[in-house]
Copies of this chain bind each other. A is one copy, B any other.
Amino acid sequence: MKNRIITISRESGSGGHTIGKKVAEKLGIPCYDSEVIHKLAKESGFSEKYVEEAGECAPKGLMEQVWSHRVMGPTNEDYIWKMQQEIIKDLAKKGPCVIVGRCADYILDDEADCLKVFIRADLKFRTDRVMKETGATRALTEGRLKNLDKRRTIYYRFYTDKKWGVADNYHLCLDSGALGIDKCVDIIASVY
């Protein structure tokens, strides 16, 4: 039987990462996020900072049409995408787990018995959360969150041919701002 995997996609700052960790803790299974990044960095030779973004976001400042062109052959992102797929498939084979981000919902579609979760919240809630952590200004934080989500949307669209954040792609979409982080954890754990 296929392993049962929880994939968590999330809007930036929505607390998806915290929710993933808490769900994993509650269920007594591992939560992968940084592990994927470490492995990718090690095997690819790129820095962790680089693969963290390049494995989930389109590059900064490039328009979608420009980035999507492949006239010069595969890009670094294509290379990382291919490695990321293998690493995530390997992790899913090890046993039940939670995987946060990295398009795992798409990568594992035929590989595992997935519970696909999407975490979102309104911009104010997300900005407040991130400002508390970073101490940055509201304007800067909002700009960063919007930019990151835009680049994630482009990346997801390009590699999966699906639209990020559309309910049809997930079993469960939760508003962490309205429901609260702990309620989200409870709901996910209750349907695992």
Contact = CB atoms under 8 A, between A and B. Distances in A.
B168 A170 contact: no
Interface stretch (A40-48, A91-99, A172-180): A172-180
A27 B147 CA distance: 41
A62 interface: no
- Interface residue tally of chain A, by bracket? 20 to 34
Q: For the complex, would chain A's binding face be called helix, strand, loop or mixed by DSSP majority?
A: mixed
Interface of A: 115, 118, 120, 165-168, 170-175, 178-179, 183, 186-187, 190-191
23 contacts: A115-B178, A120-B167, A120-B168, A165-B166, A165-B167, A165-B168, A166-B167, A167-B167, A167-B170, A167-B173, A170-B173, A170-B175, A171-B174, A171-B175, A172-B174, A172-B175, A172-B179, A179-B191, A183-B190, A186-B190, A187-B187, A187-B190, A187-B191
